[in-house]
Amino acid sequence: MGDSDIRARIEEANTEALRRMLSAQPVLVDVMPLSAFDPSVTGLSLTHSGPPVTWARMSGAQRGAVYAAASYEGWAASREETDVLAASGRIRFIPNHALRGVGPMAGVVSPSMHVWVVQDKVTGKCSYSSTEYDAFFGAYDDEALDELRRWNRIIYPAIGRALRSMGGLELKPLMTQALTMGDELHSRQVAASALLAKRLAAAIVRTSSVEDAAATLTELAENELTFLPVSMAACKVTLLAAEGIPYCTVVTAMARNGTDFGIRVSSLGDRWFVAPAPDVQGVFFPGYGPGDAGPDIGDSAITETNGLGAFAAAAAPAIAGLVGSSPSELIAYSREMRAITVGTNPNFGIPQLDFEGTATGIDLRKVVQTGIAPIIDTASAHKDPGHRIVGAGTSRAPLACFQAALEAWAKQYLHQA
C-alpha cells in the first residue's frame, strides 16, 4: 500500500469518526448506583479519573476522595484504616474509562454511589458520570460526607424517578441552547444547569414527596454545575461511537488523575498513552497559591475531546476571569483548536464566531505536526488530601502523549501496509 493509499484510508477513517460523533444522540435516561450500571463493581471497588494509577502514585486529591468513599461505604473508620486497606491491595481501583464512564476531578465513585446515565439513541451505548462533590477535590470531613449522603439518599433518587417518568431527556438540543446562553459546557454550566432544572422540576414534584422534592429543587436551583456530569457523560457516549475504527487517528479520550495525563485513540483500542500531568495555569482562591495546587486532574477533559469546554471557550466570555484569560484569548483558543481537528460540529454553533461550529475530532497527526497541544479549562485541586477547590485555569495536554500514540499507530498500521 502506497503513501497515497494510506493517507486515503486515514482520511476515510477520520471522516467516519467525525460522522459518528455528529450523529450521536445522547439522552439522559436515569440515575442509579454504580453497581447497577456495572455489576462487576462490587466489594471494595472504587473508580477514579484518568489512566490507571496505583495507590502509591495517587495524587492528594484522589487519596482524599478515597478516604471519603471508604468512610461513606463504612469500610474504614479513619484515614489510617483506609491507608492500610489501600496499601494492602484490598481496595480495587478502576479507571472510570474502563467502565465506559467518566468522573470529574478525582472521579472516585464507590459501588453504592449513584451516577448519571446517558445513552446514545443511535448506538445504544451508555455512559455515566458523577456529580462534582467536595469529596472529589479531596475533602473528607463531616461536611463532605454529609454532601455525599444527601445526594445519594435524596437528590439522586428524586431525579431518577423524574427521568424515568419522563422517558428520558434529549441532551443535544439543551446543550446547543446553552452554548448560545454563555456556557462552554465544561467550566461554565450556568445556563445548562438552569435548563436542566426547568425540564426536571415538574416531574420531580409529581414523583417525589414534598420534602424530597423541596430538597432536590433547592439543590438544582443553587448548584450552577449540576449539568457538568451530564455534559461529561454525553461527551463520553458520543466518543464511544467513534472508537474502534481502523487507521483512524482521532483521539477518543483525554483524562488526568493528578499524576498522569493519558489519551486514547480510536484505532488503538483501550491502550493509554501517558505523560506527567501538567500544572494548571490560572487564578487561585483566597488563601491559596501555586505552591498549594496539585497537577491537573479529572476526566472532564472528555468535553474538550468532544469539541466543547476550552474548544468552545469563545461562547463563554464570563469564564475569562475565572480561568485567568481575557475574552479575546478565549476566542483565540476556539480558533486555534481548528488547526488540530478533523472538522467542526454544526450542532454546536458559537454566537461569538458567527455561529460556526466548534472544532471537533482531535487528530493525533495534526497535534504532532503543528505542535499545538489541546487546551483544557479546568479547576485546581490541592496537592494534599483534605481540601476543596483551590482555583481554576487552563492547561495544555502534554505533546509526549500524542507523539507516543502516533509512534504506536505507525508501528501497527504502517507495518500492515
Q: Nine-digit cell at 44?
A: 471494595
| Entry pTM | 0.96
Calpha distance 368→403 (Å, rounded): 6
Q: Nine-digit cell at 220?
A: 438544582
Residue 257: φ, ψ to 5°? -120, 15
Residue 417 confidence (pLDDT) above 70: no
What is the arithmetic mean of pLDDT over 193-215? 98
Helices marked H in 180-326: 190-207, 210-222, 228-240, 302-305, 320-323
Calpha distance 369→6 (Å, rounded): 17
What are the tens digits of pLDDT across the range 369-391? 999 999 999 999 999 999 999 99
- Looking at residue 2, its pLDDT comes to 63
Asked if residues 179 and 185 have their Cβ atoms less than 8 Å apart, the reply is: yes
What are the tens digits of pLDDT across the range 46-83? 999 999 999 999 999 999 999 999 999 999 999 999 99
90 falls in which pLDDT band (50, 70, 90)? very high
Q: Nine-digit cell at 115?
A: 451516577
| Radius of gyration, CA atoms only, the chain | 20
- Closest Cα partner for 266 from 5, 9, 3? 9
- Please, what is the average pLDDT of the chain? 96
Strand 92-95 relative to strand 45-48, pairing? parallel
Residue 1 confidence (pLDDT) above 70: no
The H or E element spanning position 66 is helix 60-73
What is the arithmetic mean of pLDDT over 270-287? 96
Asked if residues 298 and 393 have their Cβ atoms less than 8 Å apart, the reply is: no
- Closest Cα partner for 253 from 364, 350, 339? 364
Show the domains of the chain with their CATH numbers: 27-232 (3.90.1710.10), 237-416 (3.90.1700.10)
416 falls in which pLDDT band (50, 70, 90)? low
What are the residues whose beta carbons fall under 8 Å from the beta carbon of 112, sequence distance 6 or more? 33, 34, 35, 73, 152
